[in-house]
Amino acid sequence: MEIQFSNLKQEKGAIAIIFCDQNSRLIGYGKRLDQLSKKHLSNTIKSDDSFMKRKSKNFDYIMVHNPHNLSFSKIYVFKLKNIKNYSNRDFQILGGNLLSLIKFYKEYNVIIYPDGVKASKVSFINSISEMLLGLLLASYKFTKYFSKVDNKRKKISKIKIYTNQFSRLEKNYETVKAIHEGVTMTRNLVTEPPNVMTPPELAKNAASLEKIGVKVSVLGEKEMTKLGMGSLLSVGRGSEHESKLAIMEWKGHKNKKKKPIAFIGKGVSFDTGGVSLKPAGGMEEMKYDMGGSGVVIGLMKTLALRKAKANVIGVVGLVENHIGNMATRPSDVVKSYSGQTIEVLNTDAEGRLVLADALWYTQEKYKPELMVDLATLTGAIIIAIGNEYAGLFSNNDKLSKQLEDAGKIEDEKLWRFPLHDKFDKMINSPIADMQNISSGRGAGSITAAQFLQRFVNKVPWAHLDIAGTTWSKTKLPTSPKGATAFGVKLLNKFVSKYHEGK
Protein backbone atom coordinates (compact mmCIF):
# COMPACT_ATOMS: atom_id res chain seq x y z
CA MET A 1 0.00 0.00 0.00
CA GLU A 2 1.19 3.46 -0.86
CA ILE A 3 -0.05 6.64 0.75
CA GLN A 4 0.17 10.10 -0.81
CA PHE A 5 -1.09 13.54 0.15
CA SER A 6 -2.42 16.39 -1.87
CA ASN A 7 -4.58 19.47 -1.70
CA LEU A 8 -8.29 19.15 -2.27
CA LYS A 9 -9.19 18.33 -5.85
CA GLN A 10 -10.91 15.64 -7.90
CA GLU A 11 -9.25 12.96 -9.96
CA LYS A 12 -10.59 11.24 -13.01
CA GLY A 13 -11.25 7.54 -12.71
CA ALA A 14 -10.39 7.37 -9.02
CA ILE A 15 -12.62 6.04 -6.28
CA ALA A 16 -13.54 8.55 -3.58
CA ILE A 17 -14.29 7.94 0.08
CA ILE A 18 -16.28 10.67 1.80
CA PHE A 19 -18.10 10.69 5.11
CA CYS A 20 -21.50 11.30 6.62
CA ASP A 21 -22.67 11.47 10.22
CA GLN A 22 -24.99 9.03 11.99
CA ASN A 23 -28.01 10.91 10.63
CA SER A 24 -26.64 10.32 7.12
CA ARG A 25 -25.76 13.98 6.61
CA LEU A 26 -22.65 14.53 4.51
CA ILE A 27 -19.62 16.01 6.29
CA GLY A 28 -17.01 18.52 5.12
CA TYR A 29 -15.82 18.08 1.56
CA GLY A 30 -18.62 15.59 0.98
CA LYS A 31 -21.03 18.51 1.16
CA ARG A 32 -19.06 20.37 -1.50
CA LEU A 33 -19.06 17.35 -3.80
CA ASP A 34 -22.79 17.02 -3.24
CA GLN A 35 -23.30 20.58 -4.45
CA LEU A 36 -21.13 19.93 -7.50
CA SER A 37 -23.12 16.79 -8.30
CA LYS A 38 -26.34 18.76 -7.95
CA LYS A 39 -27.38 16.67 -4.95
CA HIS A 40 -26.91 13.33 -6.68
CA LEU A 41 -25.03 12.12 -3.59
CA SER A 42 -27.51 13.22 -0.94
CA ASN A 43 -30.45 12.09 -3.09
CA THR A 44 -28.92 8.62 -3.47
CA ILE A 45 -28.45 8.48 0.29
CA LYS A 46 -32.02 9.58 0.92
CA SER A 47 -33.38 7.00 -1.47
CA ASP A 48 -31.78 4.22 0.55
CA ASP A 49 -34.20 3.90 3.41
CA SER A 50 -32.34 1.29 5.37
CA PHE A 51 -29.02 3.19 5.20
CA MET A 52 -30.84 6.30 6.42
CA LYS A 53 -32.29 4.46 9.37
CA ARG A 54 -29.27 2.39 10.41
CA LYS A 55 -27.55 4.01 13.33
CA SER A 56 -26.25 1.11 15.32
CA LYS A 57 -23.67 -0.47 13.04
CA ASN A 58 -20.08 0.63 13.49
CA PHE A 59 -19.12 -0.18 9.93
CA ASP A 60 -21.59 1.18 7.41
CA TYR A 61 -21.39 2.72 3.98
CA ILE A 62 -23.24 3.27 0.74
CA MET A 63 -21.90 3.25 -2.82
CA VAL A 64 -22.70 5.84 -5.47
CA HIS A 65 -21.78 4.77 -8.99
CA ASN A 66 -20.91 7.34 -11.66
CA PRO A 67 -21.84 10.38 -9.59
CA HIS A 68 -23.24 13.20 -11.70
CA ASN A 69 -20.85 15.98 -12.74
CA LEU A 70 -17.95 14.48 -10.79
CA SER A 71 -14.93 12.79 -12.28
CA PHE A 72 -14.92 9.74 -9.97
CA SER A 73 -16.13 6.40 -11.18
CA LYS A 74 -17.50 5.56 -7.75
CA ILE A 75 -17.96 7.17 -4.37
CA TYR A 76 -18.22 5.40 -1.03
CA VAL A 77 -20.04 7.38 1.63
CA PHE A 78 -18.83 6.03 4.96
CA LYS A 79 -21.07 6.53 7.97
CA LEU A 80 -19.40 7.71 11.16
CA LYS A 81 -21.50 6.86 14.16
CA ASN A 82 -20.93 9.15 17.14
CA ILE A 83 -17.97 10.84 15.53
CA LYS A 84 -18.04 13.54 18.24
CA ASN A 85 -17.06 10.97 20.85
CA TYR A 86 -14.29 9.30 18.87
CA SER A 87 -11.03 8.61 20.72
CA ASN A 88 -7.59 8.37 19.11
CA ARG A 89 -8.00 4.61 18.93
CA ASP A 90 -11.42 4.95 17.25
CA PHE A 91 -9.68 6.77 14.42
CA GLN A 92 -7.14 3.94 14.09
CA ILE A 93 -10.04 1.50 13.87
CA LEU A 94 -11.72 3.71 11.29
CA GLY A 95 -8.53 3.46 9.22
CA GLY A 96 -8.59 -0.33 9.63
CA ASN A 97 -12.25 -0.45 8.56
CA LEU A 98 -11.57 1.70 5.50
CA LEU A 99 -8.78 -0.67 4.54
CA SER A 100 -11.14 -3.66 4.86
CA LEU A 101 -13.53 -1.89 2.50
CA ILE A 102 -10.78 -1.06 0.00
CA LYS A 103 -9.51 -4.64 0.10
CA PHE A 104 -12.94 -6.22 -0.12
CA TYR A 105 -13.80 -4.34 -3.32
CA LYS A 106 -10.22 -4.58 -4.64
CA GLU A 107 -9.92 -0.86 -5.20
CA TYR A 108 -6.50 0.25 -6.40
CA ASN A 109 -6.81 4.00 -6.77
CA VAL A 110 -8.57 5.52 -3.81
CA ILE A 111 -8.83 9.08 -2.58
CA ILE A 112 -9.98 9.73 0.96
CA TYR A 113 -11.45 13.17 1.72
CA PRO A 114 -11.23 13.56 5.50
CA ASP A 115 -11.86 17.31 5.79
CA GLY A 116 -14.64 18.00 8.24
CA VAL A 117 -14.17 14.71 10.10
CA LYS A 118 -13.74 15.95 13.64
CA ALA A 119 -14.24 14.59 17.13
CA SER A 120 -14.53 16.87 20.14
CA LYS A 121 -11.51 15.56 22.04
CA VAL A 122 -9.08 14.84 19.18
CA SER A 123 -7.60 17.51 16.90
CA PHE A 124 -8.20 17.16 13.18
CA ILE A 125 -4.53 16.55 12.43
CA ASN A 126 -4.28 13.89 15.14
CA SER A 127 -7.47 12.18 14.10
CA ILE A 128 -6.32 11.89 10.50
CA SER A 129 -2.87 10.74 11.60
CA GLU A 130 -4.43 7.99 13.70
CA MET A 131 -6.68 7.01 10.80
CA LEU A 132 -3.62 6.71 8.57
CA LEU A 133 -1.83 4.65 11.18
CA GLY A 134 -4.83 2.32 11.29
CA LEU A 135 -4.82 2.01 7.50
CA LEU A 136 -1.12 1.20 7.44
CA LEU A 137 -1.19 -1.27 10.32
CA ALA A 138 -4.18 -3.12 8.90
CA SER A 139 -2.50 -3.47 5.51
CA TYR A 140 0.27 -5.71 6.87
CA LYS A 141 1.02 -8.90 4.95
CA PHE A 142 3.85 -11.37 4.92
CA THR A 143 4.30 -12.94 1.49
CA LYS A 144 8.02 -13.67 1.50
CA TYR A 145 7.77 -17.44 1.27
CA PHE A 146 5.26 -17.80 -1.55
CA SER A 147 7.32 -18.96 -4.52
CA LYS A 148 4.75 -17.67 -7.00
CA VAL A 149 3.35 -14.22 -6.41
CA ASP A 150 0.24 -13.69 -8.49
CA ASN A 151 -0.30 -10.30 -10.01
CA LYS A 152 -3.27 -9.50 -7.87
CA ARG A 153 -1.21 -9.93 -4.78
CA LYS A 154 1.54 -7.79 -6.26
CA LYS A 155 -0.72 -4.94 -7.24
CA ILE A 156 -0.38 -2.11 -4.79
CA SER A 157 -3.33 -0.03 -3.66
CA LYS A 158 -2.68 3.66 -4.01
CA ILE A 159 -4.42 5.59 -1.29
CA LYS A 160 -4.36 9.34 -1.45
CA ILE A 161 -5.43 11.76 1.21
CA TYR A 162 -6.77 15.00 -0.22
CA THR A 163 -7.15 17.74 2.34
CA ASN A 164 -6.59 21.46 2.74
CA GLN A 165 -4.37 20.67 5.72
CA PHE A 166 -1.96 18.46 3.87
CA SER A 167 1.24 20.36 4.68
CA ARG A 168 0.53 20.15 8.42
CA LEU A 169 -0.38 16.50 8.06
CA GLU A 170 2.85 15.57 6.37
CA LYS A 171 4.85 16.46 9.47
CA ASN A 172 2.67 14.30 11.71
CA TYR A 173 2.96 11.54 9.18
CA GLU A 174 6.64 11.08 10.06
CA THR A 175 5.60 9.81 13.51
CA VAL A 176 2.93 7.62 11.98
CA LYS A 177 5.55 6.08 9.70
CA ALA A 178 7.92 5.51 12.62
CA ILE A 179 5.25 3.56 14.51
CA HIS A 180 4.25 1.68 11.38
CA GLU A 181 7.85 0.67 10.68
CA GLY A 182 8.46 -0.46 14.25
CA VAL A 183 5.27 -2.54 14.32
CA THR A 184 6.06 -4.01 10.90
CA MET A 185 9.54 -5.03 12.01
CA THR A 186 8.12 -6.72 15.12
CA ARG A 187 5.48 -8.55 13.09
CA ASN A 188 8.08 -9.71 10.58
CA LEU A 189 10.41 -11.01 13.29
CA VAL A 190 7.56 -12.89 14.96
CA THR A 191 6.15 -14.29 11.70
CA GLU A 192 9.47 -15.56 10.33
CA PRO A 193 9.83 -19.34 10.79
CA PRO A 194 12.11 -20.53 13.59
CA ASN A 195 14.62 -22.21 11.25
CA VAL A 196 15.29 -18.73 9.87
CA MET A 197 14.77 -16.45 12.86
CA THR A 198 17.32 -18.10 15.15
CA PRO A 199 18.98 -16.31 18.09
CA PRO A 200 21.95 -15.10 15.96
CA GLU A 201 19.53 -13.88 13.30
CA LEU A 202 17.48 -11.99 15.90
CA ALA A 203 20.71 -10.43 17.16
CA LYS A 204 21.54 -9.38 13.59
CA ASN A 205 18.16 -7.71 13.31
CA ALA A 206 18.81 -5.83 16.54
CA ALA A 207 22.22 -4.80 15.17
CA SER A 208 20.57 -3.49 11.99
CA LEU A 209 19.25 -0.59 14.08
CA GLU A 210 22.80 0.83 14.10
CA LYS A 211 21.88 2.36 10.74
CA ILE A 212 19.34 4.64 12.38
CA GLY A 213 21.50 5.74 15.29
CA VAL A 214 20.97 3.01 17.89
CA LYS A 215 24.14 1.76 19.57
CA VAL A 216 24.04 -2.02 19.61
CA SER A 217 26.27 -4.58 21.30
CA VAL A 218 25.84 -8.34 21.19
CA LEU A 219 27.21 -10.82 23.73
CA GLY A 220 27.75 -14.41 22.62
CA GLU A 221 28.09 -17.59 24.69
CA LYS A 222 31.77 -16.97 25.38
CA GLU A 223 31.16 -13.53 26.86
CA MET A 224 28.12 -14.66 28.80
CA THR A 225 30.00 -17.65 30.22
CA LYS A 226 32.71 -15.29 31.42
CA LEU A 227 30.11 -13.08 33.08
CA GLY A 228 28.52 -16.12 34.74
CA MET A 229 25.10 -16.02 33.10
CA GLY A 230 24.44 -19.65 33.92
CA SER A 231 20.68 -19.21 34.02
CA LEU A 232 20.22 -17.83 30.49
CA LEU A 233 22.87 -20.16 29.10
CA SER A 234 21.22 -23.25 30.58
CA VAL A 235 18.27 -22.76 28.23
CA GLY A 236 20.23 -22.83 24.96
CA ARG A 237 22.34 -25.89 25.78
CA GLY A 238 20.25 -28.26 23.69
CA SER A 239 20.35 -26.03 20.62
CA GLU A 240 22.73 -25.83 17.66
CA HIS A 241 22.22 -22.08 17.54
CA GLU A 242 24.34 -19.87 19.71
CA SER A 243 22.60 -17.95 22.50
CA LYS A 244 22.94 -14.17 22.41
CA LEU A 245 22.22 -11.15 24.52
CA ALA A 246 21.66 -8.03 22.42
CA ILE A 247 21.75 -4.56 23.96
CA MET A 248 20.36 -1.52 22.16
CA GLU A 249 20.93 2.04 23.37
CA TRP A 250 19.05 5.11 22.21
CA LYS A 251 20.16 8.41 23.71
CA GLY A 252 17.62 11.00 22.66
CA HIS A 253 17.43 13.07 25.84
CA LYS A 254 19.29 16.38 25.86
CA ASN A 255 21.08 15.18 28.98
CA LYS A 256 22.93 12.14 27.70
CA LYS A 257 23.79 11.17 31.28
CA LYS A 258 20.19 10.98 32.42
CA LYS A 259 19.34 7.52 33.77
CA PRO A 260 17.73 5.48 31.00
CA ILE A 261 14.47 3.62 31.06
CA ALA A 262 14.90 -0.02 30.09
CA PHE A 263 12.86 -2.56 28.16
CA ILE A 264 13.79 -6.22 28.38
CA GLY A 265 12.41 -8.92 26.09
CA LYS A 266 12.16 -12.70 26.20
CA GLY A 267 13.51 -14.00 22.91
CA VAL A 268 13.05 -17.76 22.77
CA SER A 269 13.30 -18.31 19.02
CA PHE A 270 11.54 -21.65 19.44
CA ASP A 271 10.30 -23.33 22.59
CA THR A 272 10.15 -27.12 22.28
CA GLY A 273 9.95 -27.26 26.07
CA GLY A 274 13.41 -28.87 26.12
CA VAL A 275 13.69 -32.24 27.88
CA SER A 276 10.34 -31.43 29.53
CA LEU A 277 9.08 -31.68 25.95
CA LYS A 278 5.84 -30.03 24.92
CA PRO A 279 3.09 -32.12 23.30
CA ALA A 280 3.13 -32.07 19.46
CA GLY A 281 -0.29 -30.49 19.02
CA GLY A 282 0.10 -26.73 18.85
CA MET A 283 3.85 -26.77 19.30
CA GLU A 284 4.21 -24.77 16.08
CA GLU A 285 2.85 -21.79 17.97
CA MET A 286 6.06 -21.64 19.92
CA LYS A 287 7.78 -19.79 17.09
CA TYR A 288 6.25 -16.68 18.60
CA ASP A 289 7.96 -17.30 21.93
CA MET A 290 10.42 -14.57 20.91
CA GLY A 291 7.54 -12.05 20.87
CA GLY A 292 8.85 -10.03 23.82
CA SER A 293 12.20 -9.51 22.12
CA GLY A 294 10.42 -8.70 18.86
CA VAL A 295 8.50 -5.93 20.61
CA VAL A 296 11.65 -4.50 22.20
CA ILE A 297 13.51 -4.45 18.86
CA GLY A 298 10.56 -2.91 16.97
CA LEU A 299 10.01 -0.38 19.75
CA MET A 300 13.65 0.73 19.61
CA LYS A 301 13.22 1.18 15.88
CA THR A 302 10.16 3.39 16.35
CA LEU A 303 11.84 5.46 19.07
CA ALA A 304 14.95 6.01 16.95
CA LEU A 305 13.02 6.80 13.77
CA ARG A 306 10.95 9.44 15.50
CA LYS A 307 14.00 10.65 17.46
CA ALA A 308 12.35 10.23 20.85
CA LYS A 309 13.69 12.67 23.45
CA ALA A 310 14.48 9.96 25.99
CA ASN A 311 17.37 7.72 26.96
CA VAL A 312 16.23 4.16 26.40
CA ILE A 313 17.91 0.78 26.73
CA GLY A 314 16.56 -2.35 25.07
CA VAL A 315 17.90 -5.73 26.14
CA VAL A 316 16.86 -9.00 24.55
CA GLY A 317 17.79 -12.50 25.73
CA LEU A 318 17.95 -14.71 22.63
CA VAL A 319 17.97 -18.48 22.95
CA GLU A 320 16.41 -21.57 21.44
CA ASN A 321 14.91 -24.03 23.92
CA HIS A 322 15.63 -27.34 22.21
CA ILE A 323 16.30 -30.96 23.06
CA GLY A 324 19.81 -32.31 22.54
CA ASN A 325 22.41 -34.36 24.33
CA MET A 326 23.75 -31.33 26.17
CA ALA A 327 20.31 -30.03 27.08
CA THR A 328 19.52 -29.12 30.67
CA ARG A 329 17.81 -31.91 32.65
CA PRO A 330 14.96 -31.48 35.12
CA SER A 331 16.71 -31.28 38.54
CA ASP A 332 19.88 -29.60 37.23
CA VAL A 333 21.05 -26.71 39.39
CA VAL A 334 22.41 -23.61 37.66
CA LYS A 335 23.95 -20.40 38.92
CA SER A 336 22.52 -17.13 37.68
CA TYR A 337 24.43 -13.93 36.91
CA SER A 338 23.09 -12.48 40.18
CA GLY A 339 24.81 -15.29 42.09
CA GLN A 340 21.53 -16.89 43.13
CA THR A 341 21.19 -20.60 42.33
CA ILE A 342 18.21 -22.18 40.60
CA GLU A 343 16.98 -25.75 40.55
CA VAL A 344 15.54 -26.32 37.08
CA LEU A 345 12.61 -28.63 37.75
CA ASN A 346 10.94 -28.09 34.42
CA THR A 347 12.94 -27.11 31.35
CA ASP A 348 9.75 -25.72 29.80
CA ALA A 349 9.71 -22.90 32.33
CA GLU A 350 12.64 -21.37 30.44
CA GLY A 351 11.53 -17.80 29.83
CA ARG A 352 12.10 -16.80 33.42
CA LEU A 353 15.60 -18.30 33.28
CA VAL A 354 16.43 -16.08 30.32
CA LEU A 355 14.91 -12.96 31.86
CA ALA A 356 16.61 -13.54 35.23
CA ASP A 357 20.03 -12.86 33.76
CA ALA A 358 18.84 -10.20 31.32
CA LEU A 359 17.12 -8.25 34.13
CA TRP A 360 20.08 -8.48 36.47
CA TYR A 361 22.48 -7.41 33.72
CA THR A 362 20.33 -4.41 32.75
CA GLN A 363 19.95 -3.28 36.32
CA GLU A 364 23.60 -3.66 37.21
CA LYS A 365 25.10 -2.22 34.04
CA TYR A 366 22.71 0.65 33.27
CA LYS A 367 21.21 1.62 36.66
CA PRO A 368 17.92 2.37 34.90
CA GLU A 369 15.21 4.61 36.25
CA LEU A 370 12.74 1.80 35.64
CA MET A 371 12.54 -1.58 33.90
CA VAL A 372 9.69 -3.08 31.91
CA ASP A 373 10.02 -6.64 30.67
CA LEU A 374 7.84 -8.32 28.06
CA ALA A 375 7.52 -12.06 27.73
CA THR A 376 5.28 -14.75 26.33
CA LEU A 377 5.88 -16.26 29.73
CA THR A 378 3.00 -18.48 30.76
CA GLY A 379 0.10 -20.41 29.27
CA ALA A 380 -1.62 -19.70 32.57
CA ILE A 381 -2.11 -16.03 31.68
CA ILE A 382 -4.29 -17.14 28.75
CA ILE A 383 -6.37 -19.28 31.10
CA ALA A 384 -6.71 -16.31 33.43
CA ILE A 385 -7.56 -13.44 31.04
CA GLY A 386 -7.59 -14.74 27.47
CA ASN A 387 -6.38 -12.76 24.51
CA GLU A 388 -7.72 -9.25 25.06
CA TYR A 389 -5.51 -8.16 27.95
CA ALA A 390 -1.89 -8.80 28.81
CA GLY A 391 -0.99 -9.51 32.44
CA LEU A 392 0.75 -6.74 34.38
CA PHE A 393 2.86 -7.48 37.45
CA SER A 394 4.77 -4.73 39.20
CA ASN A 395 6.44 -3.53 42.37
CA ASN A 396 5.39 0.06 41.67
CA ASP A 397 1.94 1.70 41.55
CA LYS A 398 2.94 4.77 39.58
CA LEU A 399 4.65 2.76 36.86
CA SER A 400 1.65 0.41 36.70
CA LYS A 401 -0.74 3.31 36.33
CA GLN A 402 1.30 4.87 33.51
CA LEU A 403 1.46 1.58 31.65
CA GLU A 404 -2.25 0.91 32.14
CA ASP A 405 -3.09 4.41 30.87
CA ALA A 406 -0.92 4.09 27.78
CA GLY A 407 -2.48 0.69 27.16
CA LYS A 408 -5.99 2.10 27.31
CA ILE A 409 -5.16 4.84 24.81
CA GLU A 410 -3.65 2.40 22.34
CA ASP A 411 -6.14 -0.39 23.01
CA GLU A 412 -3.32 -2.69 24.11
CA LYS A 413 -4.85 -3.28 27.48
CA LEU A 414 -3.20 -4.46 30.68
CA TRP A 415 -4.68 -6.04 33.77
CA ARG A 416 -2.71 -5.94 36.98
CA PHE A 417 -2.21 -9.06 39.08
CA PRO A 418 -1.00 -9.24 42.67
CA LEU A 419 2.45 -10.09 43.92
CA HIS A 420 2.87 -11.32 47.48
CA ASP A 421 5.36 -13.01 49.80
CA LYS A 422 3.03 -15.99 50.05
CA PHE A 423 3.44 -16.58 46.31
CA ASP A 424 7.17 -16.01 46.56
CA LYS A 425 7.52 -18.86 49.08
CA MET A 426 6.09 -21.27 46.53
CA ILE A 427 9.34 -21.19 44.53
CA ASN A 428 11.70 -22.03 47.38
CA SER A 429 13.77 -25.11 46.63
CA PRO A 430 15.08 -27.75 49.05
CA ILE A 431 18.45 -27.80 47.27
CA ALA A 432 19.04 -24.31 45.80
CA ASP A 433 17.99 -20.69 46.37
CA MET A 434 14.89 -21.24 44.28
CA GLN A 435 13.26 -23.58 41.79
CA ASN A 436 11.95 -22.54 38.40
CA ILE A 437 8.41 -23.81 38.90
CA SER A 438 6.04 -23.48 41.79
CA SER A 439 5.50 -26.41 44.15
CA GLY A 440 1.81 -25.47 44.39
CA ARG A 441 -0.88 -25.89 41.76
CA GLY A 442 -2.39 -22.50 41.05
CA ALA A 443 -1.33 -18.95 40.18
CA GLY A 444 1.17 -20.03 37.52
CA SER A 445 1.55 -16.55 36.03
CA ILE A 446 2.04 -14.96 39.42
CA THR A 447 4.67 -17.42 40.62
CA ALA A 448 6.51 -16.84 37.33
CA ALA A 449 6.45 -13.09 38.02
CA GLN A 450 7.63 -13.74 41.60
CA PHE A 451 10.57 -15.61 40.15
CA LEU A 452 11.46 -12.58 38.00
CA GLN A 453 11.12 -10.28 40.99
CA ARG A 454 13.93 -12.15 42.69
CA PHE A 455 16.18 -10.66 40.00
CA VAL A 456 15.02 -7.09 40.51
CA ASN A 457 16.33 -4.91 43.33
CA LYS A 458 14.62 -1.72 44.42
CA VAL A 459 14.20 -0.32 40.91
CA PRO A 460 10.62 0.28 39.69
CA TRP A 461 9.83 -2.73 37.56
CA ALA A 462 6.90 -4.09 35.61
CA HIS A 463 6.48 -7.41 33.87
CA LEU A 464 4.04 -7.81 30.97
CA ASP A 465 2.97 -11.38 30.26
CA ILE A 466 2.02 -11.16 26.58
CA ALA A 467 1.53 -14.89 25.92
CA GLY A 468 -2.14 -14.32 25.05
CA THR A 469 -1.78 -11.16 22.98
CA THR A 470 1.29 -11.69 20.81
CA TRP A 471 -0.46 -13.82 18.22
CA SER A 472 -4.08 -13.54 17.13
CA LYS A 473 -6.05 -16.39 15.59
CA THR A 474 -8.54 -13.88 14.20
CA LYS A 475 -8.30 -10.63 12.29
CA LEU A 476 -8.32 -7.59 14.57
CA PRO A 477 -9.35 -4.03 13.61
CA THR A 478 -5.82 -2.91 12.75
CA SER A 479 -4.00 -6.23 12.53
CA PRO A 480 -4.52 -9.25 10.28
CA LYS A 481 -4.42 -12.78 11.75
CA GLY A 482 -1.04 -13.66 13.23
CA ALA A 483 1.60 -11.47 14.83
CA THR A 484 0.04 -8.41 16.47
CA ALA A 485 3.13 -6.56 17.78
CA PHE A 486 1.10 -5.95 20.95
CA GLY A 487 3.27 -3.72 23.12
CA VAL A 488 4.98 -1.52 20.52
CA LYS A 489 2.23 1.10 20.37
CA LEU A 490 1.65 0.82 24.11
CA LEU A 491 5.29 1.38 25.07
CA ASN A 492 5.82 4.05 22.45
CA LYS A 493 2.91 5.93 24.02
CA PHE A 494 4.28 5.23 27.51
CA VAL A 495 7.58 6.83 26.49
CA SER A 496 6.09 9.82 24.68
CA LYS A 497 3.46 10.59 27.31
CA TYR A 498 5.52 10.13 30.48
CA HIS A 499 9.24 9.97 29.76
CA GLU A 500 10.16 12.49 27.12
CA GLY A 501 11.67 15.93 27.33
CA LYS A 502 11.84 16.69 31.06
Calpha distance 500→243 (Å, rounded):
33
Q: Which of 368, 391, 444, 482 binds ligand BES (CB under 6 A)?
A: 444
Choose among 224, 171, 484: nearest CA to 360: 224
* Sole window of 87-95, 341-349, 388-396, 417-425 interacting with ligand BES (rule: CB under 6 A): 341-349
C-alpha 445: how far from its chain's center? 21
278: annotated active-site residue: yes
- What residues between 14 and 53 interact with ligand BES by CB under 6 A? none
Question: Is there binding between residue 172 and ligand BES (CB under 6 A)?
Answer: no
- Cβ of residue 89: shortest distance to ligand BES, in angstroms? 25
Size of the site for ligand BES (CB under 6 A): 15
At residue 421, what are phi and psi to the nearest 5 degrees?
-50, -35
Q: Which of 160, 352, 454, 489 is catalytic?
A: 352
Q: Which of 34, 60, 249, 271 binds Zn ion (CB under 5 A)?
A: 271
Question: Is there binding between residue 234 and ligand BES (CB under 6 A)?
Answer: no
Choice between 139 and 336, CB closer to Mn ion: 336
Q: Which of 348, 373, 410, 412 binds ligand BES (CB under 6 A)?
A: 348
> What are the DSSP calls for 282-351, one per residue?
TGGGGGGGGHHHHHHHHHHHHHHHTT-SSEEEEEEEEEEE---TTPPPTTEEEE-TTS-EEEES-TT--H
HSE-up of residue 58 (Cα within 13 Å, Cβ side): 9
3-state secondary structure of 2: strand
Q: Which residues pair with 462 in a beta bridge?
A: 372, 394
55: annotated active-site residue: no
Choice between 13 and 279, CB closer to ligand BES: 279
Q: Which of 179, 214, 297, 380 binds ligand BES (CB under 6 A)?
A: 380
Calpha distance 176→54 (Å, rounded):
33
Q: Dihedral, CA atoms, 468, 474, 477, 479, nearest 10 degrees? A: 70
- What residues between 277 and 306 interact with ligand BES by CB under 6 A? 285, 289
- Cβ of residue 102: shortest distance to ligand BES, in angstroms? 33
252 contact partners, CB below 8 Å, separation of at least 6: 303, 304, 307, 308, 309, 310, 311, 312, 500
- What residues between 281 and 310 interact with Zn ion by CB under 5 A? 289
- Cβ of residue 200: shortest distance to Mn ion, in angstroms? 21
Instruction: Could you list the beta-strand ranges (E) of 94-149.
Output: 109-112
Ranked by CB distance to Mn ion, the top (closest) residue is 348
Interaction mask 250-269, Zn ion, x per CB under 5 A: ------------------x-
Q: Which of 28, 182, 294, 351 binds Zn ion (CB under 5 A)?
A: 351
Quote the radius of gyration of the chain (alpha carbons, Å): 25
- Cβ of residue 278: shortest distance to Mn ion, in angstroms? 7
Q: Which of 11, 208, 379, 396 binds ligand BES (CB under 6 A)?
A: 379
Choose among 129, 139, 45: nearest CA to 97: 139
3-state secondary structure of 195: coil
Calpha distance 205→215 (Å, rounded):
13
Q: Which does 127 bind (CB under 5 to 8 A by kind): ligand BES, Zn ion, Mn ion, none?
A: none
Q: Which of 350, 357, 373, 411 binds ligand BES (CB under 6 A)?
A: 350
Ranked by CB distance to ligand BES, the top (closest) residue is 379
- Cβ of residue 293: shortest distance to ligand BES, in angstroms? 12
420 contact partners, CB below 8 Å, separation of at least 6: none
Calpha distance 381→28 (Å, rounded):
46
Q: Which of 278, 309, 408, 416 is catalytic?
A: 278
Q: Which of 338, 378, 387, 394 binds ligand BES (CB under 6 A)?
A: 378
Q: Which does 176 bind (CB under 5 to 8 A by kind): Zn ion, ligand BES, Mn ion, none?
A: none
Q: Which does 379 bind (CB under 5 to 8 A by kind): ligand BES, Mn ion, Zn ion, none?
A: ligand BES
Q: What are the distances in angstroms from CA 165 to CA 115, 126, 128? A: 8, 12, 10
Question: Is there binding between residue 467 and ligand BES (CB under 6 A)?
Answer: yes
Q: Which of 67, 194, 265, 351 binds ligand BES (CB under 6 A)?
A: 351
Q: What are the distances in angstroms from CA 363 to CA 152, 314, 355? A: 50, 12, 12
Q: Which of 376, 394, 469, 496 binds ligand BES (CB under 6 A)?
A: 376
- Active-site residue list: 278, 352
Residues of this chain that interact with Zn ion (CB under 5 A) are 268, 271, 289, 351
Residues of this chain that interact with ligand BES (CB under 6 A) are 271, 285, 289, 346, 348-351, 376, 378-380, 437, 444, 467
